[in-house]
């Protein structure tokens, strides 16, 4: 079973509109959840992460995400996007097995902001 699923491969949105990028995780993984952003020809940059505590997590560049245990979701939101937010967004979870762990990424969602 997929540890993390991003159902939307691409999300087009107009500038200044709100956006939500969806992420669902398998209930069998630990609840360490991350959102990374990848700009063209660059490495990944952490937007935000949920480890414990408040279910609403605020990150950089005006993004926020809400951890929903009952729906096993960790959707990313921004109330008003800019052209510069055009990038690939990856949801990720920590998968633990015995004494080992690894960061498992979803397949990514391309956010395309149009003027």
Partner 1 sequence: EAGVVQSPRYKIIEKKQPVAFWCNPISGHNTLYWYRQNLGQGPELLIRYENEEAVDDSQLPKDRFSAERLKGVDSTLKIQPAELGDSAVYLCASSLGSGEDLGETQYFGPGTRLLVL
Q: Interface residues with partner 1 (CB under 8 A)?
A: 9, 30, 32, 36, 41-46, 49, 51, 90, 92, 94, 96, 100-103, 105-108
Closer CB to partner 1, 13 or 104, in the complex: 104
Min. distance of Cβ 4 from partner 1 in angstroms? 8
3-state DSSP of the chain? CCCEECCCCEEEEECCCCEEECCEECCCCCCCEEEEEECCCCCEEEEEEECCCCCEEECHHHCEEEEECCCCEEEEEECCCCHHHCEEEEEEEEEEECCEEEEEECCCEEEEEEC
Query: Between 13 and 94, whose beta carbon lies closer to partner 1?
Result: 94
The residue among 58 and 96 lying less far from partner 1, judged by its C-beta, is 96
């Amino acid at each position: 079973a997929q540890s993390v699923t991003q159902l939307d491969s691409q999300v087009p949105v107009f500038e200044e509109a709100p956006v939500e990028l969806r992420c669902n995780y398998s209930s069998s993984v630990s609840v360490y959840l991350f959102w990374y952003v990848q700009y063209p020809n660059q490495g990944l940059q952490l937007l935000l992460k949920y480890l414990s505590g408040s279910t609403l997590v605020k990150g950089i560049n005006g993004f926020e995400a809400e951890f929903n245990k009952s729906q096993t979701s960790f959707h990313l939101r921004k109330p008003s996007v800019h052209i510069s937010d055009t990038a690939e967004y990856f949801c990720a979870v920590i998968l633990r097995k015995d004494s080992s762990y690894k960061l498992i990424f979803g397949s990514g969602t391309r956010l395309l902001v149009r003027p």
